[in-house]
Amino acid sequence: TYFAIASASQPATCERLIEMSKGAASSPSQSNATSSLAPAAVVMRSSQEVLDYSPTACHTARRMVRRAWPGPTHFVLPGDHPDSLLSRLHESARTLITDRDRYVRLCRPMHPSIQEIARLAAGPLIALPLRNQDDNTPAVTAKAAMRA
C-alpha cells in the first residue's frame, strides 16, 4: 500500500491530507473525529514514543508494543491524557490521527526509507494510506497512488 506522508507540525500539509482523506474514506460510519475521513496515523520512531502520545496505555498495550517492535505495527490507543503530545499538535493534525473518542492511531511503517525519514524529521510525521478513487481499495501500484 502507498501512503502520503506529511509533517504533523505543518498545518497546511495536514489540511491537504484532510482533503485527500475525505475522498478516500472507506466508510461513512468510521469513528474518527470527522467521520468522513480515512484513518491516518502518527509514524513512530521508537517504541518509547507510544507513551508520548498515550501516557495512560495499559501494561498489556506497552508489552505488545515492545514485543511487536520494530514492526511493521499499527496501534490505536487512548490519547486523551493532558500530558499527551496530541495537545501540542495543531487541530488539523489531531483531526487526522484521532477518533471522536480521542483514541490516537500510531504506526511503524515497514519500508526502511519511511523509517529513516521519520528518524531524521524534526517533528512527528503523519501517514495517510492512499486509496483508489474508482473502487476505494488500497493503492498498491505507483499509478494508482498518483491518481489517489
Q: What is the mean pLDDT of each run of 10 residues along the chain (148 residues)?
A: 90 90 54 56 91 92 90 89 90 89 89 90 91 81 81
What are the two backbone dihedrals, phi and then psi, of residue 48, each rounded to the nearest 5 degrees?
-70, -25
* pLDDT at 140 (0 to 100): 83
**pTM for the complete prediction?**
0.80
Instruction: For residue 28, give the C-alpha cell.
Output: 461513512
Q: Which residues pair with 32 in a beta bridge?
A: 99
Instruction: State the pLDDT at residue 32.
Output: 42
Looking at residue 24, what is its pLDDT? 54
105 strand-pairing partners: 76
